[in-house]
Amino acid sequence: MNITILGGGGFLGRKIAERLAASGKLGGRAVASLVLFDLAPPAPLEAAFPVHCIGGDIAALPAEAVPEGTDVVFHLAAVVSAAAEADYDLGRRVNLRGIDAVVDICRALARPPRVVFTSSVASFSGGQSAHLADDARQLPANSYGAQKAAAELILSDASRRGFLDAVNLRLPTIAIRPGAPNKAASSFISSMLREPLLGLATTLPVDEDFRVWIASPAHAVAWLLHSAEIDTASLGADRSITPPGLSASVGAMLDAMEQVRPGTRALVTAAPDPVVADIVGSWPASFAAARAPGLGYIRHGGLVALVEEFIARDLQATRALRNL
Positions touching a second copy (CB under 8 A) are 88, 92, 96, 100, 125, 135-143, 146-147, 149-150, 153-154, 156-157, 160-161, 163, 237-238
**Smaller CB separation from a second copy, 93 or 183:** 93
Nearer to a second copy, 122 or 228 (CB): 122
Catalytic residue among 124, 144, 223, 310: 144
Q: Shortest approach of a second copy to residue 137 CB, angstroms?
A: 5
Q: CA torsion sign, 257 to 258 to 260 to 263?
A: positive
Distance of alpha carbon 299 from alpha carbon 21, whole angstroms: 25
Q: Which among 189, 186, 97 is positioned nearest to 142, based on CA atoms?
A: 186
Whole-number minimum distance, CB 277 to a second copy, in Å?
A: 17
- d(CA 97, CA 123) in angstroms, rounded, equals 17
| Beta-bridge partner residues of 249 | 211
* Nearest distance, CB of residue 11 and a second copy, angstroms: 26
Work out the angle at residue 292's Cα, subtended by the Cα atoms of residues 287 and 293, and round it to the nearest 5 degrees: 110
Residue with smaller CB distance to a second copy, 3 or 149: 149
Number of Cβ within a 10 Å radius of residue 317: 11
CB atoms within 10 A of CB 200: 13
Computed from CA positions of residues 234, 295, 314, 203, in that sequence, does the dihedral angle turn out positive or negative?
positive
Decide whether 25 or 161 has the Cβ nearer to a second copy.
161
Question: Between 111 and 160, whose beta carbon lies closer to a second copy?
Answer: 160
What kind and span of H or E run contains 174? strand 173-174
Q: Output the smallest distance, CB 75 to a second copy, in A.
A: 17
Query: Residue 27 and residue 22: Cα distance in Å, rounded?
Result: 14
Least separation, in Å, of the C-beta of 65 and a second copy? 20
| Cis peptide bond upstream of 3, omega within 30 | no
Bridge-based pairing of strands 114-120 and 72-75 is parallel
Q: Which is nearer to a second copy, 45 or 141 (CB)?
A: 141
Closest alpha carbon to 67 in 130, 24, 4, 25 = 4
Alpha carbon 98 to its chain centroid, in Å, reads 16
Query: Which amino acid, 191?
Result: S
Sign of the alpha-carbon torsion through 52, 58, 63, 68 = positive
CB of 7 to a second copy, least distance (A): 21
Annotated catalytic, 144? yes
The residues annotated as belonging to the active site are 144
